[in-house]
Amino acid sequence: MPDDDREIRERVRSLIEETGRERTHLLEVLHKVQREFHHVPRAAADAIEHEMLVPVADTYGVVTFYDLLSERPVGANVLRVCEDVACSLHGAESLAAEAEKLLGPEGRPSGDGQVSWTRCACLGLCDKAPAALYREEPLAPLTPAAIGKIGERHA
């Protein structure tokens, strides 16, 4: 993973080249940036502004709107714990507490940078509440044991 701003801008330029420069490709480009850098760094937003003519403020407007994008680094694999109504009624808060205990503070990558967790809104899996996504795959019903397994791999 490139770690300085110049390398990030270069990499984002090539992602834009393979995806498309039109503003309609912004979300797709941002998903690629998120997958590669585990967040949308400022240097990436600068490259997007330069190459796609999308102001940095607009890029971060999109980033803050979508749960799958983040301004700050997250783990390469993210556990998203639903805290909406159906899941709350099925113990989402105690599962979030378990995630905090086993995986660390919400939104902060594990020591190896491989995992982090966050709360999220309804995932459309209410019939299997309490629900979560891990690596964008459904994990429902979510159990403390499932969180423990994720934690063991990245302790």
Site string for ligand FES, 88-127 (x = CB under 6 A): ----------------------------------xx-xx-
Does residue 131 bind ligand FES (CB under 6 A)?
Answer: yes
Exposed (0-12), middle (13-18) or buried (19+): which is 145, by Cβ within 10 Å?
exposed
77-82: strand order across its sheet: 115-120, 77-82, 132-134, 137-139
Does residue 67 bind ligand FES (CB under 6 A)?
Answer: no
Tell which one of 78, 84, 110, 142 touches ligand FES (CB under 6 A). 84
Tell which one of 86, 107, 113, 146 touches ligand FES (CB under 6 A). 86
Tell which one of 12, 26, 29, 82 touches ligand FES (CB under 6 A). 82
CA distance 44 to 68: 16
CA distance 104 to 128: 25
Does residue 129 bind ligand FES (CB under 6 A)?
Answer: yes
Tell which one of 1, 53, 56, 85 touches ligand FES (CB under 6 A). 85
- Note the residues at the interface with ligand FES (CB under 6 A): 82, 84-87, 122-123, 125-126, 129, 131
